[in-house]
Amino acid sequence: MTTYDALVVGSGIAGMESALKLGDMGYKVLLVEKEASVGGRMILLSKVFPTLDCASCISTPKMAASIHHPNVTAMTYAEVDGIERLDGGRFKAKVRQKPRFVDEAACTGCQQCELACTVAVPDQFNYDLVARRAAYIAFPQAVPKKAVIERQGTSPCSYTCPAGIKAHGYVSLIRSGEYEKAFQLVLEATPLVGTLGRACYAPCEGECTRGSLEGSLPIRRLKRFAADTHYASESGPHVEVPPTNGKRVAVVGSGPAGLTAAWQLARRGYAVKIFEAAPVAGGFLRIALPAYRLPAEVVEQDIANVTAIGVEIATNARVTDVETLRKDGYDAVLLATGTPRSTPLGVPGEKLEGVYGGLDFLRAVRLAGTAAAADNPLADRHGKRVVVVGGCNVAMDAARTAVRLGATETTIAYRRGREEMPAHTAEVEDAERDGVRFSFLVAPVEVIGDTAGRVTDLRCRRMALGKPDASGRRRPEPIAGSDFTIPCDAVVAAVGMAAKGAVYGGGVAANENGTLAADKQTLQTNVPWVFAAGDATTGASDITRAVGQGRRAAHMIDRWLNGMPLADFELDSLLEVVDKNKVTSRQSAYARHGIHGGVVEGPAPAAALTFDEIEAPLTEEQARNSAGDCLDCGVCSECQECVKACPSDAIHLDMKEHVEEVEVGAVVVATGYKLFTADAKPEYGFGRYKNVITGTQMDRLLAPTRPFNTVLRPGDGKVPERIAYVMCTGSRDETVGNPLCSRFCCMYSIKQNQLVMGALPLAEVTVHYMDMRAAGKRYDEFYESAKAMGATYVKGRIARITEKPDGNLILRYEDIEHGGSIEEAEYDMVVLAVGVQPNRDAEKLFGIAADGEGPRSPAGAGLEFDEYHYVAEVDEDLSPGKTSIPGVFVAGTASGAKDIADSIVHAGAAVAQVAAHLEAAKKEAVA
Amino acid sequence: MSAPKFEWNPETAPANPRQGGPDEAQPAHEEKARRIGVYVCHCGGNISDYVDVQAVVDAVKDEPGVVVAKHTVFACSDAGQQEMQEDIEANHLDGLVVASCSPKLHVVTFRGVAKRSGLNPYEYNQANIREQVSWTHTNDPEGATHKAIGVVRGVIGRTRLSDPLEPLEVKTQQRALVIGGGISGLRAAIGLADVGLAVYVVERERELGGWVGKFGPMFPHEREGRDLIASLVQEIRKRPSITVFTGAEIASKAGSFGNYLVGIRVSGSGDSAETITVDVGSIVVATGFDAYQPPEGSFGMGLPGVITLPDFKALVDGTDGPLRFQGKPVRSLAYVYCVGGRGDGGNAHCSRFCCSATAHTSIRVAGLDPKIRQYHLYRDIRTYGSFELLYTESRKSGSVYVKYPDDAPPVVSTDRDGLKVTVRDLLSGDEELEIPVDLVVLVTGAVPRKNDGLVGILKLPIGRDGFFNEIHPKLRPVETVVDGVLIAGASQGPKSSAESVASGLAAVTQSAAVLKKGVAELDPLVATVDPDKCTWCGKCENACPYGAIEKLSLNGREVATIGEATCKGCGGCVPVCPENAIDLRGYTDGQITAMIDGLLEEAMA
């Protein structure tokens, strides 16, 4: 455990002053700052009263000294998680270094990552007046001038994607107009961009935080938009072929798992050959999914990515023995053969003509091409009745296909109820829309045929739901004597699919249910050089999971062939998923709210039921607008643009937080204050009226690093001519629970009055005040000079502000000094002189969380707070800065509102006592 | 560092030896090829909004000796400093120029940059193109750019002639002197002792305690001033490293930073006095304030029943039932605020604590007699921060607040019925009120304490408001321009008791920060005498405001010698020397000439 003489929490002016003075005295100090730069709030000011010194000029030398001082160790972007007083009076503190996701040593502060970043969030260092990027350097004078990637967690969409696709990443790229980059980002995970853009069941959309508001973003269709845009613009597949590494891998099966694995392996330089038993590549994508959901061209475009990178695909090539592949020189084999077998109904009459397995039916239709083709299984039954048995997606596909083939009556018979159907709701609804009828709680008992051996009826039995079975769904139980028949010309049995089982020579073991036995994490089979992925090992799942399996298998094969351990390998180093409530509350805390682009409606039902693709693509405008609605849940979208842009390879999104325990002799709490949130005074309209800003925002408008390079009103960029100040916003105000005066608002307003009159010589400045509190050395003189410069001070509190259509604001007030009449005045811009609130983070330092939860320090060791939640000074008269815990001192505004000068002196007072405490401890130790 | 004034009379001043031609005695190292880096700072926009920084860079980049010339958004930022450090190391620079703000702000910062990159810190020179250029010529960007070029060229010229210098190291005494035995001084003494320094406390009065020692309950914690002082005195008694002199005054000061010799005149019984000399590393001046004493007639001063706040507080402190004044019950009273402050009585300043003190007093008065009527005639109630609670409580306890116009102060008068106050009340529609009262309390503020003797001895800087002046209210709030002489408490400006204590402790911190190391570094930018040229005329000795110059016998000749630790580098001695025997390190005649030449070159262009 590293030891220091003192720990200073917070690097605002009081914290820096404390650390530097202690360092000057020769004590070793650890200074911990939660933001990415030291400096606190003072550095964000324009100038400071009453000297009108530039705030940067006074802050920056202290900031630079804080990290260069030989006795001060500064940790930025770090938080103190808890401090415990040890026996003997020293302290143990847990300091958590939050991951910057940027290697501090390598980062040069060049800002390339900022420029490349696709996520914009309100810039807290400009008090939300403008945006900053998720990859950012705090502000131009930041110390250290190192970038940080703000990641509050993994966005729910990306977190939930079984394929490992950075959904948030491509959404933010599309928002930025970077469609090709969006396509390439998906390509990082899988070649099946266009396919997933259509046929993915989009679990991301189910998790989208917008879903609980106006409705989810159309994330899947955004991916389709990126794919369509890419394929429309590229004349052919354009992929970079990597140099070969000399090793060969055979992939058996060309479904989503096989294709993804082959793609991933080929990108690592492997020579990959896919063996496909069917006459076309693509597996279920080509032979099971109906064309109206996934046109063949789309799959072919996606597969062209794979062949373009050098993967060889052999169709009509059934593999029966993996040993031969080994002998043919393959270093590893991946079995990704899916679940090609339809489960039989298991009732009499199943062999009759006109009874099909669901998959067999779909495969036959897709391979046949058109409805009129001679080999179409329903061609000679056009206009007839079809019963589809089952409630899964395949059943829906089969039924909707039957409708498109001209069946007059298509019925789905399912043994449980609607709620229990495993098919996705959207698919069920689409089937209904196509005219498919549903018959629930019905199980087939026998297929009845005519003398020619052709189906005529399906005899069924009605069911009732009993107790839940292993799947959690209520088990259907037959009702005796309830049999009935459905007349029909064809029965499609979509009651399940199964893998092929142990069909390979070479001893690859299989499970009882026919899936291949492979380790769930490593996907390795009992034969070390044989891996199995996708439905072949998991049983029937869906395309997206199969893609995820293929990707995992490729990484595992790569590791295995390179002699690296397979266990404990983390394929995607994900952060915890971000809490959606935090996302929404963060959004509502932003001072300005974005305009919602509107939910993109679902596709209109097609006029005629054909095999043409149903779903309409998003227009570019729709795509940009809906991507623009993204709430950037995790903040960083993981779009990887910064990683690519960084010239010193400093960005590592897999960085982890790091908790360090330190032992210190004394603690200085310099956690500062929070600003009053001005929207808590709704009558002033902050957050709703664009030209109502806070005093701190005005300071930014006036600062040398000002966002707009001039003072303008945010609503329309107009240079304001009449500016009003509303003093005591959130201070001296029982209605917001703060009876205290915030002490510095009068003075910063007077300062701004002078600066505004300097910057805008034609502007009129009026201050609506209760008492002008210019109490301090040279303060009243400063107030007098503002009056002499022409600022007007009107006594009386503002009752209400209303906004005019042109953005001007009407202030209603009592003009106390001129007879007390109620007046109204119009201004271009209103500045709310917001005051301070306690920073209640300090309550967590010694183990007592604000909500009363969290670990408690040993009895009596808790830090005391006053009734207004500031750190209590137990002997302010004689020992300002002394707290309830011996050895713990408070400096600056953590103990109550103070201006900068008073904070600095207060810190000086705290430091003298820290030194006395340390010297006394030293003496005690010697004695 | 500002230099005290010295008189310069052109009639008696020595002739400029350089008049009429260039100085032949230019140091030889002008020919040495220098490697100088020049950085022109934008200062955000403070400079670059008015000065074309690119033009400045272009103009000076080919100056002799310049190998790097750049502009930078914030030279003082960490990134700016890093860039310079890298350049110094990569280009083996032997000189550094930053054209930015006043060296008062950042000379230490940039010397640090030089030092960290292995360059002698005194090879760094700052060109002030902000205070002296951009801020003064905001209406003439072109002219400002020209002037900036001249200033930078001049400083480059100065840097070409710079020499590496080593800071002067002085041992510092592990002792401190506190002047003033009020609450700030006493607490500072304890603080100094507790960080391991020996302390002398000098109090002019016979008793310790100052103002607070006379007070009963004080705001905001209701603790008695007398008790606070008593507890401090008790703590002092426990600390053998603190020596207290009461009835004592500062008689003299000699020596220099880290090693001051201070004479203390301690009066004994009767008229006897002895002078004790102590050697201390730092001096904390905590001499407090005086209460404003309104002249007769001002706000009724002199009328029966008109008293000042301190006197009223004493009255309240000594009462435990309904108030009586001069034997008569007090049933109503009026407080007149801002007497002797905010423009009254020639004082422009606000005394900061009076509003809170008065609100607090009124609460106590209401506690003594809930039926008493109290009127507060004020301009702005400045109960800042949590003192606002006092204002609220005062109103709740029955006090009536009446805001009077800045330009129409209340009038206090007497008639048959007794005392009355006439005032315009802005809070009730600017109505003129006539309030008959039993007592008028003039809320008098703080004024600087008369301390001419001490100011003269310590050379304490005085601000426009008459209080002692800090170097900078934020960067160095308790330091004065005299190294090692610190100011604390209300001697620097009006403060509450707790704020005075805080500043006393801040002075402890500052003392310890420089004394605890045992050695201090001083700037070597001091005057030096060429003993071969010096003929000891004594003119320099007279010109030196710091007493740094003495006569020395050297090989049978009398020559001047300059105490390096005492010299402040003000340069006052240099021009008075008829033999041109004195030069100032860092500002040699050659360097000053080079600066003028650089400036003129641009002016002539």
Q: For the residues of A302-357, what is the DSSP string, one character each? A: HHHHHHHTT-EEESS----BHHHHHHTT-SEEEE-----EEPP--STTTTSBTEEE
Taking 50 as the threshold, does the pLDDT of residue B28 lie above it? no
Beta bridge partners of B348: none
Taking 50 as the threshold, does the pLDDT of residue B3 lie above it? no
Q: Kindly state whether residues B388 and B464 are assigned to the same domain.
A: no
Q: Residue A374: what pLDDT?
A: 54
Q: Is A612 exposed, middle or buried (0-12, 13-18, 19+ CB in 10 A)?
A: exposed
Mean pLDDT of B36-55: 93
**pLDDT range class, residue A736, cuts 50, 70, 90:** very high
CA-to-CA dists, residue A50 to A108, A779, B473, angstroms: 36, 6, 9
Taking 60 as the threshold, does the pLDDT of residue B103 lie above it? yes
How far, in Å, CA of B91 to CA of B283, rounded?
Answer: 45
Q: What residues contact residue B149 under an 8 Å CB cut-off, 6+ apart?
A: B55, B56, B59, B60, B602
**Phi/psi of residue B78, nearest 5 degrees:** -60, -40
Residue A820: list chain B partners with CB under 8 A: 427-430
Cross-chain residue pair B430–A67, CB shorter than 8 Å = no
Which residue from A minimizes the CA distance to B77?
A: A141
Q: Kindly state whether residues B461 and B544 are assigned to the same domain.
A: no
Query: Which of B105, B388, B492 is closest, CB to CB, to A739?
Result: B388
Mean pLDDT of B264-279: 89
Mean pLDDT of B211-222: 96
Structural domain includes residue B476:
yes
Q: Kindly state whether residues B306 and B436 are assigned to the same domain.
A: yes
Q: Residue A168: what pLDDT?
A: 98
How far, in Å, CA of A389 to CA of A342, rounded?
Answer: 12
Cross-chain residue pair B350–A774, CB shorter than 8 Å = yes
Structural domain includes residue B258:
yes
pLDDT digits (tens, 9 = 90+) for A649-682: 999 999 999 999 999 999 999 999 999 999 999 9
Is the Cβ–Cβ distance between B333 and B372 less than 8 Å?
yes
Among residues B142, B165, B188, the one where a domain terminates is B165
pLDDT digits (tens, 9 = 90+) for B474-485: 889 999 988 899
Q: Residue B329: what pLDDT?
A: 95
Structural domain includes residue B52:
yes
* Residues 452-481 of chain B whose Cβ lies under 8 A from any Cβ of chain A: 463-465, 467, 472-475, 477-478
**pLDDT range class, residue A610, cuts 50, 70, 90:** confident
Taking 50 as the threshold, does the pLDDT of residue A214 lie above it? yes
Asked if the C-beta of B492 comes within 8 angstroms of chain A's C-beta atoms, the answer is yes
Mean pLDDT of A727-734: 96
For A177, half-sphere exposure in the C-beta direction (CA atoms, 13 angstrom radius) is 1
Cross-chain residue pair B474–A61, CB shorter than 8 Å = no
Q: Kindly state whether residues B435 and B463 are assigned to the same domain.
A: no
Taking 60 as the threshold, does the pLDDT of residue A859 lie above it? no
Cross-chain residue pair B349–A54, CB shorter than 8 Å = no
Structural domain includes residue B605:
no
User: Residue B543: which CATH number?
Assistant: 3.30.70.20
SS3 content of chain A, % helix, strand, coil (to 5): 30, 20, 45
Query: Which of A144, A775, A908 is closest, CB to CB, to B506?
Result: A908
Q: Residue A371: what pLDDT?
A: 52
Q: Kindly state whether residues B297 and B428 are assigned to the same domain.
A: yes
Q: Residue B10: what pLDDT?
A: 43
Residue B79: list chain A partners with CB under 8 A: 109, 141-142, 145
pLDDT > 90: what percent of chain B? 79
Asked if the C-beta of A896 comes within 8 angstroms of chain B's C-beta atoms, the answer is yes
How far, in Å, CA of A161 to CA of A164, rounded?
Answer: 5
CA distance A22 to chain B (A): 7
Asked if the C-beta of A55 comes within 8 angstroms of chain B's C-beta atoms, the answer is no
CA distance A88 to chain B (A): 19
Cross-chain residue pair A916–B191, CB shorter than 8 Å = yes
CA-to-CA dists, residue B508 to B212, B256, B476, B478, angstroms: 20, 19, 13, 10
Q: What is the tally of structural domains in chain B?
A: 4
Q: Kindly state whether residues B423 and B464 are assigned to the same domain.
A: no
Residue B505: list chain A partners with CB under 8 A: 880-881, 908-913
Query: Which of B509, B511, B516, B519 best tests the A interface by mutation, with the highest count of A CBs <10 A?
Result: B509
Query: Which of B112, B187, B385 is closest, CB to CB, to A740?
Result: B385
Q: Kindly state whether residues B516 and B460 are assigned to the same domain.
A: yes
Q: Kindly state whether residues B439 and B460 are assigned to the same domain.
A: no
* Residues 217-276 of chain B whose Cβ lies under 8 A from any Cβ of chain A: 218, 221, 223, 228, 231-232
User: Residue B137: which CATH number?
Assistant: 3.40.50
User: Residue B460: which CATH number?
Assistant: 3.50.50.60
**pLDDT range class, residue A860, cuts 50, 70, 90:** very low
Range from A445-459, A604-618, B586-600 carrying the lowest mean pLDDT: A604-618
Asked if the C-beta of B507 comes within 8 angstroms of chain A's C-beta atoms, the answer is yes
The residue ranking higher by pLDDT, A54 or A23, is A23
Range from A639-643, B17-21, B79-83 carrying the lowest mean pLDDT: B17-21
Structural domain includes residue B12:
no
SS3 per-residue string spanning A860-925: CCCCCECCCCCECCCCCCCCCCECCCCCEEECHHHHCCCCHHHHHHHHHHHHHHHHHHHHHHHHHH
Mean pLDDT of A478-488: 93
Range from A631-640, A816-825, B397-406, B446-455 carrying the lowest mean pLDDT: A816-825
Taking 60 as the threshold, does the pLDDT of residue B440 lie above it? yes
Cross-chain residue pair A920–B108, CB shorter than 8 Å = no
Q: Residue A573: what pLDDT?
A: 80
Which residue from A minimizes the CA distance to B352?
A: A775
Asked if the C-beta of A760 comes within 8 angstroms of chain B's C-beta atoms, the answer is no
CA-to-CA dists, residue B386 to A865, B221, B393, B490, B602, angstroms: 14, 11, 12, 20, 57
Asked if the C-beta of B502 comes within 8 angstroms of chain A's C-beta atoms, the answer is yes
Cross-chain residue pair B78–A144, CB shorter than 8 Å = yes
Which residue from B minimizes the CA distance to A876?
A: B498
User: Which residue has tokens 């070159």?
Assistant: B601
Residue B189: list chain A partners with CB under 8 A: none
Cross-chain residue pair B427–A781, CB shorter than 8 Å = no
Among residues B493, B520, B547, the one where a domain terminates is B520
Mean pLDDT of B419-433: 93
pLDDT digits (tens, 9 = 90+) for B220-251: 999 999 999 999 999 999 999 999 999 999 99
Torsion of the alpha carbons at B371, B375, B381 and B384, rounded to the nearest 10: -20
Taking 80 as the threshold, does the pLDDT of residue A488 lie above it? yes
Which residue from A minimizes the CA distance to B355?
A: A775
Cross-chain residue pair B350–A67, CB shorter than 8 Å = no
Taking 60 as the threshold, does the pLDDT of residue A914 lie above it? yes
Q: What is the DSSP letter of A17?
A: H
With b meaning 16 or more CB within 10 Å and e meaning fewer, what string describes A638-670? bbbbbbebbeeebbbbebeeeeeebebbbbbbb
Taking 90 as the threshold, does the pLDDT of residue A614 lie above it? no
**pLDDT range class, residue B21, cuts 50, 70, 90:** very low
* Residues 361-420 of chain A whose Cβ lies under 8 A from any Cβ of chain B: none
Taking 50 as the threshold, does the pLDDT of residue B25 lie above it? no
* Residues 11-50 of chain A whose Cβ lies under 8 A from any Cβ of chain B: 13, 21, 24-26, 48, 50
Residue A879: list chain B partners with CB under 8 A: 501
CA distance B324 to chain A (A): 30
Q: Kindly state whether residues B496 and B516 are assigned to the same domain.
A: yes
Is the Cβ–Cβ distance between B225 and A878 less than 8 Å?
no
Query: Which of A67, A732, A795 is closest, CB to CB, to B78?
Result: A67
Taking 70 as the threshold, does the pLDDT of residue A376 lie above it? no
pLDDT > 70: what percent of chain A? 94
Query: Which of A51, A743, A920 is closest, CB to CB, to B473?
Result: A51
* Residues 112-131 of chain B whose Cβ lies under 8 A from any Cβ of chain A: 112, 116
CA distance A268 to chain B (A): 39
Q: Kindly state whether residues B410 and B366 are assigned to the same domain.
A: yes
pLDDT digits (tens, 9 = 90+) for B486-520: 999 999 999 999 999 999 999 999 999 989 889 98
Q: Kindly state whether residues B527 and B507 are assigned to the same domain.
A: no
pLDDT digits (tens, 9 = 90+) for A308-366: 999 999 999 999 889 999 999 999 999 999 998 888 999 999 999 889 999 999 988 88
Q: Is A821 helix (H, G, I), strand (E, B) or coil?
A: strand
Structural domain includes residue B579:
yes
pLDDT > 70: what percent of chain B? 95
pLDDT digits (tens, 9 = 90+) for A53-98: 889 888 988 998 999 899 999 999 999 999 999 988 999 999 999 9
The amino acid that residue A102 corresponds to is: V
Q: Residue A604: what pLDDT?
A: 58
Q: Is B331 exposed, middle or buried (0-12, 13-18, 19+ CB in 10 A)?
A: middle
Asked if the C-beta of A60 comes within 8 angstroms of chain B's C-beta atoms, the answer is yes
* Residues 709-728 of chain A whose Cβ lies under 8 A from any Cβ of chain B: 709
CA distance B225 to chain A (A): 9
Domain holding B562, by residue range, is 523-584
- Token duo for residue A156: 């729910």
Q: Kindly state whether residues B380 and B501 are assigned to the same domain.
A: no
Which residue from A minimizes the CA distance to B445?
A: A775
CA distance A692 to chain B (A): 25
Asked if the C-beta of A647 comes within 8 angstroms of chain B's C-beta atoms, the answer is no
Asked if the C-beta of B506 comes within 8 angstroms of chain A's C-beta atoms, the answer is yes
pLDDT digits (tens, 9 = 90+) for A377-420: 555 556 689 999 999 999 999 999 998 888 889 999 999 999 88
Range from A757-761, B265-269, B413-417 carrying the lowest mean pLDDT: B265-269
Structural domain includes residue B564:
yes
Structural domain includes residue B354:
yes
Cross-chain residue pair A64–B101, CB shorter than 8 Å = no
Among residues B446, B468, B487, the one where a domain terminates is B446
**pLDDT range class, residue A280, cuts 50, 70, 90:** very high
Here the ipTM equals 0.87
Mean pLDDT of A811-838: 93
